[in-house]
Structure 1
């Protein structure tokens, strides 16, 4: 499992970093790891699954 930064996740999903941060604040997605400095690391496939489970519109993609 390769973990990516928030910016890399946003690029992979075709959205802004702000969208990723908003989804995290709203509890739609959770990072695999948060560094001691507060930076999140994500598994792209896991985030896609979380979005599909929590947001019916994401199934349209």
Structure 2
């Protein structure tokens, strides 16, 4: 079974950027929905924030690897 980080490493840079945009939109929707009516699972907001951070970390690692070469 693959971890989230391993799955992110297999994606292309374009796919990562698309996934990042989708996650940011989903996070914004969760926050708006939570402000209107409390969510059943408010920890899903934390999960989305961490997923965005993982994607940003992978993108930055690839950028640094390109600079190093």
Fold similarity call, TM over 0.5:
no
Larger Rg: 2
Q: Which TM-score band (shorter chain)? A: under 0.3
| TM-score under structure 2 length normalisation | 0.25
Higher relative contact order (CA 8 A, sep 6+): 2
TM-score (norm 1): 0.27
